[in-house]
Structure 1
Amino acid sequence: MATVKQLYDLLDRKAPFRTQMDFDNAGFLVGRGDRTVTRVLVALDITPEVIAEAAEKGCQLILAHHPVIWGKLGQVTDESATGRKVLALIEKGIAAICAHTNLDAAEGGVNTALAQRLGLENPVPLETDGVDEAGRPYGIGRVGSLPGGPLSLADFARKAKENLGLTGIRAMDAGVPVHRVAVGGGACGSMLPQVKAMGCDTFLTADLKHDLYLEARDLGINLLDAGHYSTEAVVCPVLAQWVREAFPDLEVLEAEGQGEVFGYF
């Protein structure tokens, strides 16, 4: 058995919440810390569908990446989307812990998982922001090399599409082979200067704007947009495994009622 607070403490050891960015709202956001947990649901986002799934499956806690409460919350009513979700969690007795930019930056977190899913060797932080209490460097993004030599951008894009379960991927070919790759789970396009400084020929991230493709082309860097959901959902199995290893008596489930919110026609 474990309590909500004990699960929070586990995440705080793995991805210290003090390392989150200033704008973030990661942490223990809804519920009672002393409540006993027997079943946990892991998800990228706490949506109405995920809350309903947690309730149906008898979960007392949702562990998620994106914060269920974002920005100023002056009231909790059914007149806003956030209010309705918080009310549903409270009414159903489900706690919520959200590990966001601290999990992006942590060793073993979102970006490590993304680099590993793409088969990159010896990944290192794209940018090191500091060292945590355990002496581990943390920072957003990862840089690694493709094993077995360079690939064409088309071949790398096909590999990324398959490994991330994508139905499509946006790519800009700068005319250079893919070998040293930077990745940034979620919207990391602003890190293009760091990608250049690290000597990368290719950058895979999400939510890219038109001007970034032009800038990357001028810099001679291949640029791929693999989608916000797909570049971050890779961490859900990691979170589930962390909990299973620390609390083998708990039942840990990964949400089935989640996925990319858009499609291609």
Structure 2
Amino acid sequence: MATVRDIFTQMDQWAPFETQMDFDNAGFLVGRGEREVRKILVSLDITEPVADEAADWGADLIVAHHPVIFHPVKRLTDETPTGRTLLALAERGIAAICAHTNLDAAQGGVNVCLAQALELTDLEQLHQDGVDRSGQPYGIGRVGNASAGSGLSAGEYAAFVKEKLHAAGVRFADGGKPVRRVAVGGGSCGSMLADAAAAGCDTFVTADVKYDQFLEARALGITLMDAGHYATENVVCPKIVQYLSLKFPGIPVKISQTHQEAYGCV
């Protein structure tokens, strides 16, 4: 028998929760630690539909990337989306473990999955935040060489990124150089543009890019691409399924079919 706490312990082995950033709220966020886990649903986010899906499938635990509780909850009612989601979990006895910035920074985590999806080779860290309890360096972002798409123009590589990540769309500012060395930062990593420049990158793929960051990228001669928050981070969900299935072979683990990209493009 595996419990919720057992699952948390294994996630902590992969992506130590102590390495999460100061603003974050990753961890074991909902449920009873000693409850037996018979099925695990994996999702980028925990929403009310995802909670319904977990209940319909008979899952006892949802393992997600984004914290289901991020800001302090001062009241728990059905009058807010967060309240309804938390009530749906609690009333159905479904636990929640959320690995956020610790999984962004971990070896084999979000950014490695993103780099692999774009077929980058010779991976290096984009930024080192520290050293974990086992002495391994950790940090947000990765840098690699473009084994696929090398030499493409910004527009051509944007189409490549859209296809590989199944993104709704890709916004980009053309830095004027062919694609050779690429930095990736899953989610909102536009603030790491200077790190990408320092690493000698001609291209930086991330999400949630602001207007002024596009202007800065053009001034630096770096192609900056915004492929969307969901598309640049959802790549880790299959890896979570693979990891937990290996650690707990007797427990069915699957990715949510309910949770999809939050927006469309025309």
Distance, in Å, in 1 between the alignment partners of 2:118 and 2:90 is: 38
Distance, in Å, in 1 between the alignment partners of 2:77 and 2:147 is: 52
Q: Secondary structure at the match of 1:35?
A: coil
TM superposition outliers: structure 1 runs of 4+ over 4 Å: none
Q: Does 1:165 align with 2:180?
A: no
Contact map agreement 2:168 2:261 (CA 8 A) in 1: no
Tell me which residue corresponds to 1:192: 193
Tell me which residue corresponds to 1:217: 218
1:39-84: per-residue Cα shift (whole Å, max 9, x none)? Answer: 0000000011100000000000000000000111122122222111
Q: Secondary structure at the match of 2:236?
A: helix
CA RMSD in angstroms comes to 1.0
Write out aligned runs for 1:80-99 (5 A).
80-99=80-99
Q: Secondary structure at the match of 1:184?
A: strand
Q: Give percent identity, aligned residues only.
A: 57
> Relative to structure 2, which stretch is displaced further, 40-49 or 162-171?
162-171
Distance, in Å, in 2 between the alignment partners of 1:172 and 1:217 is: 6
Q: Does 1:121 align with 2:90?
A: no
Q: Secondary structure at the match of 1:37?
A: coil
Q: Secondary structure at the match of 1:134?
A: coil
Tell me which residue corresponds to 2:131: 131
Distance, in Å, in 2 between the alignment partners of 1:240 and 1:166 is: 21
TM-score (norm 2): 0.97
1:100-126: per-residue Cα shift (whole Å, max 9, x none)? Answer: 000000010000000000000011111
Stretches of structure 1 lacking an aligned partner (at least 5 in a row): none
Distance, in Å, in 2 between the alignment partners of 1:153 and 1:134 is: 39
Number of positions where the alignment pairs a residue of Structure 1 with one of Structure 2: 265
1:205-238: per-residue Cα shift (whole Å, max 9, x none)? Answer: 0011111111000000001100000000000001
Tell me which residue corresponds to 1:68: 68
Stretches of structure 2 lacking an aligned partner (at least 5 in a row): none
1:239-262: per-residue Cα shift (whole Å, max 9, x none)? Answer: 111100101000001000011111
2:164 counterpart letter in structure 1? N
Q: By how many angstroms is 1:25 displaced? A: 0.3
> Relative to structure 2, which stretch is displaced further, 168-177 or 151-160?
151-160
Tell me which residue corresponds to 2:259: 258
> Relative to structure 2, which stretch is displaced further, 207-216 or 166-175?
166-175
Write out aligned runs for 1:1-265 (5 A).
1-147=1-147, 149-265=150-266
Distance, in Å, in 2 between the alignment partners of 1:255 and 1:19 is: 26
> Relative to structure 2, which stretch is displaced further, 76-85 or 5-14?
76-85
Distance, in Å, in 2 between the alignment partners of 1:92 and 1:123 is: 42
TM-score (norm 1): 0.98
1:155-187: per-residue Cα shift (whole Å, max 9, x none)? Answer: 221211111012321111111111110000000
1:187 counterpart letter in structure 2? S
> Relative to structure 2, which stretch is displaced further, 68-77 or 245-254?
68-77
1:5-35: per-residue Cα shift (whole Å, max 9, x none)? Answer: 0000001000000000000000000000000
Distance, in Å, in 2 between the alignment partners of 1:65 and 1:225 is: 20
Q: By how many angstroms is 1:135 displaced? A: 2.0
Distance, in Å, in 2 between the alignment partners of 1:26 and 1:197 is: 30
